[in-house]
Structure 1
């Protein structure tokens, strides 16, 4: 069986993205017969039809849907190989593609990027943000970035680097009765999640990974959190909580230094391991960024990790 070529994979992706053979041929600067010939060769190589021609468009067959993600990943990896070769040869300043979940770009990443820019001003960083760890991992599997930063991936075969364990806090408004209730708070500033069971929460949109986390920890505390409002962006949650809409569970590292709300440590503590990972052995530039990330990233603000909860 013949092995598909990168050109054939590029033709497949272009036909799918443009929607027709006509537009794909124009974009690829080839004739339609040449494009059709290469598509037939690709289908022969993989052992079945990939596209169904419709009157005004094309539709992927089941085999086409299975092949397309691998085609995109192969093209991305080939482009990355070209970039790595150019970096090694010193032919260009370079570019790194970094994929993160929303809270990473808000919390630990900005100081790292500031330090990187001072050390490597000629290397551009292209940031790709994802609302959920599953989407982040899927993007890395498809080859859309050099490095991913987020929760530990599942069943990952590539290199993984541990960055630390981030702590979460409960954000309340300054006049919230729980914030000043001496029976609710430990001297260390903690609050039992079960005490917030009857509250309406600043929750997250379903596609935000923190929605799953909040539901999970509240279920472990014996209740289902009722949503007063759902935030699409992670950055909005602490602001909405400080405005009095309800408690919010947020990573401690995204809360601004000067903040009007009250921060309490949940009891039991809520923590999440953070990692940096790649699909394959990283090139030297990616390794340099990962090294700086490991040394410069402040996974938690001063005062964390949280002390152990007081014995009951």
Structure 2
């Protein structure tokens, strides 16, 4: 069986990019490091690393083993806080992974309320542009809890938070900005160039999906990496944008219209199979604090009632 030290050596070699730098970081000799890596490869039944002239590269087996090594190290690194977490949640560290819109929208007030109750618990937030990368991060042990769309084929606990509602953002002088119904049919925007998202951004998938359902492919005037940039650029007149309503600040120069039909996606919080008490406590707290009145769209409310109509494109 691989040892903890061997897994640590593997991760360090990969992260530093060479045996020499890894040995310096670990304060061991390079022959000792090489010996432990050979022992690890013998234990798993095949080569994990390929030595190149100036770096190392993972083999296919190495790519398969690395996420499990990281997860094992992450769990080991948190063991010393478990006892204190169990005894009153007074201390410890919680690592949270979230998609961009969550860290901009529903999470800040929840973290503020949590901090007031548990000031001794440190929070580390990791942000991801796409639900696939978010799910891979929590599966690979990079966080205790993930917050985002419904994960695919997830075996651990899942807390449903509600449906995140989306708005169409237009500039204040747009011809459709003063629509009397406060909504806009997507086909009315079919000939527009949109404020779109980078191809690896989850909202790029969502925008493409809902537009194709409406019968057209959205053209991009500009593509953004950060979710927060989309409403600002749309308000500046670069094109319509589809954004989570909960990320819009109270004083905003643009105009928010409800897409017709509405666009929503279910948000969840999920953990690995056996979360520790601190993670369970935060997941329960999040599920309680994230529920808001469904009439709050005009004020950029965070979530609609979980009994509402299921989200279109909610798994994107």
TM-score by length of 1: 0.90
- Deviation, 1:71, is 1.2
C-alpha change, 1:219 and 1:91, in structure 2 (3 Å) is closer
d(CA) in 2 for partners of 1:61 and 1:173?
51
Q: Give the corresponding residue for 2:301.
A: none
Matched, 1:129 2:127: yes
Instruction: Report the Cα distance in structure 2 between the residues aligned to 1:100 and 1:140, rounded to whole angstroms.
Output: 10
* CA drift at 1:37: 1.8
Task: Answer yes or no: is 1:236 the counterpart of 2:229.
Answer: yes
1:146 and 1:166, CA in 2 relative to 1: closer, same or farther beyond 3 A? same
| Alignment partner of 1:211 out of 192, 199, 204 | 204
Cα displacement (A) at 1:167: 0.9
Shift of 1:81: 2.8
Match of 1:15 in 2: 13
In structure 1, how many angstroms separate the alpha carbons of the residues matched to 2:13 and 2:50?
A: 11
Q: Which of 251, 258, 262 pairs up with 2:251?
A: 258
The structure that has the greater radius of gyration is 1
Quote the offset at 1:23 in angstroms.
2.0
In 2: Cα distance, 1:174 partner to 1:196 partner: 16
* Match in the other structure for 1:111: 109
- Over 3 Å counting, the alpha-carbon distance change for 1:102 and 1:142 in structure 2 is same
The answer to whether residue 268 in structure 2 is matched with residue 268 in structure 1 is no
Single out whichever of 274-283 and 78-87 deviates more from structure 2.
78-87
Q: 1:33 to 1:15 in 2, by over 3 A?
A: same
Which residue does 1:102 correspond to in 2?
100
- Classify the secondary structure of the residue corresponding to 1:286: helix
- Tell me the equivalent position of 1:294: 287
From the superposition, tell whether residues 271 and 262 of structure 1 become closer, same or farther in structure 2 (CA, over 3 Å): same
Q: Which stretches in structure 2 are left out of the alignment for 5+ residues? A: 298-303, 310-316
Q: C-alpha separation between the residues in 2 aligned to 1:200 and 1:300?
A: 33
Deviation, 1:29, is 1.7
CA contact (8 A) 1:74 1:143 kept: yes
Give the Cα separation in 2 of the matches to 1:91 and 1:250.
36
DSSP 3-state at the match of 1:191: strand
Deviations 1:197-230 (A, max 9, x none): 0111111111211011000000000001111111
Q: Is the 1:164–1:299 contact (alpha carbons within 8 Å) kept by the matching residues of 2?
A: no
**Aligned mates of 1:86, 1:80 — CA distance in 2:** 11
Superposition deviation, residue 22 in structure 1: 2.2
Name the counterpart of 1:30: 28
Q: Counterparts of 1:278 and 1:299 in 2: how far apart (Å)? A: 23
Q: Residue 296 of structure 2 aligns to a residue in which SS?
A: coil
Correspondence for 1:152 among 142, 150, 153: 150
Shift of 1:292: 1.7
The farther-off stretch of 19-28 and 86-95 is 86-95
Contact 2:90/2:121, CA 8 A, preserved across alignment: no
Displacement, 1:20? 2.3
Q: Distance in 2 between matches of 1:241 and 1:55?
A: 48
Please name the residue that 1:192 is paired with. Answer: 185
TM-score (norm: length of structure 2):
0.89
Query: Cα gap change, 1:152/1:229 in structure 2, threshold over 3 Å: closer, same or farther?
Result: same
Q: Would the alpha carbon gap of residues 48 and 223 (structure 1) be closer, same or farther in structure 2, given more than 3 Å must change?
A: same
**Given that residues 171 and 264 in structure 1 are in contact (C-alpha distance below 8 angstroms), is that contact kept between their aligned partners in structure 2?**
yes
Note the residue ranges of structure 1 that are not aligned, 5 or more in a row: none
8 Å CA contact 1:171–1:261 kept in 2: the answer is yes
Matches of 1:300 and 1:238, distance apart in 2: 23
SS at match of 1:156: coil
State the distance in 1 between where 2:254 and 2:123 align.
33
Shift of 1:115: 0.4
Cα 1:103–1:240 shift into 2, 3 Å: same
1:54 offset after TM fit, Å? 3.1
